[in-house]
Structure formats: C-alpha cells, structure tokens
Structure 1
Amino acid sequence: MTEQAALQIPPAADHVLVVDDHPLFCDALILTLRSIWDFRTIDTASTLDQALEHLKGGSGVGFIVLDLNLPDVDGLDGLMRLRNAAKDAIVLVVSSMADNRMIARTIQAGANGFVPKHSQRTVFRQAIERVVAGDIYLPGGYVEPDTGEDHAGSKAARLAVTRLASLTNQQARILSLLCEGRLNKQIAYDLSIAETTVKAHVTAIMRKLGVHSRTQAVLIAQEARFNKVLPLPDEPQ
C-alpha cells in the first residue's frame, strides 16, 4: 500500500483552498499537499478578499490552508472571517509565527490545527491525518500558555478573539473599516450598501462585543492584533 493510499481524505475535504501571498511558498505547499494525497482540487488565493470571493456560491471547498500574514488583514481577523464564511470546512493554519500564545489564539479563533510554516512533509501529513479525523493538531513542542501568570494584555487578547469570532463576515469587514477611521457613509460607499445598513451592522457589532461605542469596538479589535497576542520580550512563553 502506498503512502498516499494509506491516508484517507473524506470527499468533503478533497477540495483544498491554499491562502498565501508568497508565490514560491504557495507552490511548495501545493507540491507538499500533492505528495501526501492526490487531492481532487487545489485552488489558491493570495489575499483574504480573493479567498472569500472563492468561497461564495457553493465552491465545494472543504479544506483551507491559511497563512495568517496576508496583505489585506491584520491579526486573526482573516482566520475568523474565513471561519464564518466556511463554517464546515477544515482550517489548517500554516504560519511562521509559531509562538505558543499565537498557536493558542489561533485554535481559539476557530482553526482545526496549526503547522509551523517550514515543517517537514511528515509533519504536514500528521497534521492532515489529525484534522480530517476531527481532532485538533498542535505542533510538537507546543506548551499551553500559563493562564495563571499570563500578561494582562494577553488575557484581553483572548477575550477579544472570542468576541470577534462571533461576528459575521460582513460585520468583520465593517469593523475593519471602522479601525481605519472610516465614517458610516464611507463604509457604505466602499461596500456598496445603504448607510442605514451600516448603522444597523455597527449596532449589532457593539452588542456582540459588549461595548457601547464605536471607539470601544475598535479597541476590542486592536486587542486581537499580532502585537497584542504575542508575548512581551521578557515574558515567558
């Protein structure tokens, strides 16, 4: 029995979307995936918007391989928006930011597994085996962050990730624009929706985040950025 035949990929996960903006790594990742299993389809996207567009209209994507560093997202926002757009898909994060706290926040934000970006093929195989079996895959050497001694900023980041994960994709996009300082009418123009619709979304966003102002909503979003999730230089991992 060949190595490929030994790995059973369910039909629902046989269509893969690789989301990564680095062409060379994206090509290498596709070769790695093909060497592990003859996936029916492997598509690619270099930005979050391309990935979300690809997922529209019943694309059949059942497995997403995601790099957290994309040109059009900040922090874990991309992961949460993809999770909302493809609730039934397996999401495997592949990132160079393999800090324990980043891994923990990634799983909390909805990923099924985390693989350090330059792992060997055997690691990718183990990860795929675990996640298609319904388990969570964590890389070797991962240590659960000590919540008892965790930095206050990291605690706030965990809470922010949990709250942000409850937003719909459209709400997440609007919150991202709020973080850029856009007014309701500017957001309405950018998204081609009515200003009253924007106001309704903003109200829903504040309710889900448990805040009473746009400024507080923006602060919650900022807590989920990479510089808040990663430990301070002198902080134990």
Structure 2
Amino acid sequence: MDPVRLWLVDDHELVTEALSVRLGAFTDLWVLGRCATDDPNLLARVERGRPNVITVDPDSAGVDEVELFTSLRLAAPGARLVVLSGLDDADRVVAAARLGADAWVPKESGVADLVQVLRGVCRGEGWFPPRHLGAVLRGLREEVSRYREGGGPLAALTGRERQVLVSMVDGLRGTEIAAELGLSANTVRTHTHSLYRKLGVHSRLAAVSTARAAGLLPTRRDPHQTT
C-alpha cells in the first residue's frame, strides 16, 4: 500500500505540532505539512504538497465549512477529508458527510485509532462515530431521495435546513434561530451555508427571496419590525 501523504489543517498550533510528531513515528505516514484554516496560503500549500489525506478541524469561529471543504477538494482533487473535531454534534457530523467528509474522528480518540482511520480512508473506507452513523446514513438517503423525486428548489433541503430557512423567512437572525431551534450558533451557521449551496445563492437575502418565490411564506410578523 502506498504511504499516507498527510496534511494537517487546524488552528491550534500546539495540537498539530504534537500530532505531527506522533504520526511521524509511523513509517507509512508522511506528514507533508500543517497550517491554520485562515492561512492565506493554505490552498496553494496544499496544492503543492499533493496530499492524499487532509485532516481538518472546522470548529473555529468564523470558518465557512462549505467554502473550506470545497476549496480543499479543489486544491487536492481525490484527497480524502478526515474531520478532527472536539465537538459531539450529530447535525454537524451529518453536514460534514454531505460536504464530502470521508471520516469524522473525535479529538479525544487515541492516536492508534486515528492512524487506523487514516489508513482506512486511503483504501476507500469511511468512518463516523457509531453513535452518529445511523443519522449519517439516514441523512444521506434522504438527500438522495429528494434529488431523485425533484419537487422544486427547496426539495433538496433537509428537515433541519428547512427549519432554518423558515426562521430566516420569519426574519430571525443567527443567534435567534439558534435559540428558537435549540442549536448552537456553529450548527446554525453550518446549516445556513449548506442550504445556500443547495439553493445556489450566496446571501441571506437571496435565500429568503428564493424561499418566498417557492411559496414559503412567513409564519410570524418580523420580530425586528416596530409597531
């Protein structure tokens, strides 16, 4: 088997430095480089390095997961994406799978477990926490079913993404949507970017406009509107 050519993307320098040392002890793992998600040369460096596996931590505030995953895919076509995350959020695990992640590994996992996943994805395998695997499979099946059935621009949205969109149509902002649906702000951000991608839009205004045109009407008066 060819060696695993690895690139680490994480904003915590001490974490990636320590992980590089630990992984470097395995003769079939080559750590080509590491950098932060906001490194202006991230994509150029990844493209030059030509890794076949990229580990990425998208937990940092302000990270657009859709853009990050898409950009990494373009910079290293064919590379496997392995999410290393300190969060345990089923919605985000499902969202990562929809964005093309091949594996999701909790940061509390041991190095031996991570190495097994890294080797596995190079063989075409995938790995997600068993407690979230059912949600991942259901989510992917639902998305395939919606694409096959068609049904307008909103048909590809998951139930949660549709809830977020309904809240946007109702005039709620990010933190208000999070409170309304009982989600974290990061999870709402992930769903928002995912529904933007599926609707082919790049802004809140465009998403709401598309939703209204598809017949999705407000369910309440705009909470920011004064009487």
Q: What is the TM-score with the length of structure 2 in the denominator?
A: 0.59
1:87 counterpart residue number: 77
Higher relative contact order (CA 8 A, sep 6+): 1
Question: Where does residue 18 of structure 1 map in the other structure?
Answer: 8
Letter in 2 for 1:125: V
Report the secondary structure of 2:54's partner residue. strand
Structure 2 residue aligned with 1:153: 163
Q: CA separation of 1:69/1:217 partners in 2, compared to 1, >3 Å: closer, same or farther?
A: same
Asked if residue 50 in structure 1 is aligned to residue 83 in structure 2, the reply is: no
Question: What corresponds to 1:136 in structure 2?
Answer: 126
Shift of 1:24: 1.3
Residues 1-237 of structure 1 correspond to what in structure 2 (within 5 A)? 8=1, 10-11=2-3, 14-48=4-38, 49-56=40-47, 58-70=48-60, 73-145=63-135, 150-151=159-160, 152-153=162-163, 161=194, 164=197, 209-210=199-200, 215-216=205-206
Q: Distance in 1 between matches of 2:208 and 2:67?
A: 13
List runs of 5+ in structure 1 lacking aligned partners.
1-7, 165-207, 221-237
Could you list the runs of 5+ residues in structure 2 that have no partner in the other structure? 143-157, 167-189, 211-227
State the 1:123 CA deviation.
Answer: 1.7
State percent identity of aligned pairs: 26
Give the drift of 1:51: 1.9
CA displacement 1:134-179 (0-9 Å, x = unmatched) = 0111123224336699544379966953773xxxxxxxxxxxxxxx
Give the Cα–Cα distance (whole angstroms) in 1 for the partners of residues 21 and 159 of structure 2. Answer: 39
Is the CA contact 1:21–1:47 (under 8 Å) kept in the aligned structure 2? yes
Shift of 1:27: 1.5
RMSD across aligned C-alpha pairs, in angstroms? Answer: 3.5
- Indicate conservation of the 8 Å contact 2:52/2:78, yes or no: yes
Instruction: Tell me: CA distance 1:109–1:30, structure 2 relative to 1, closer, same or farther (3 Å).
Output: same
Amino acid in structure 2 at the alignment position of 1:132: C
Quick one: structure 1 residues 210 and 123, their matched pair in 2 at CA, closer, same or farther if it must change by over 3 Å? same
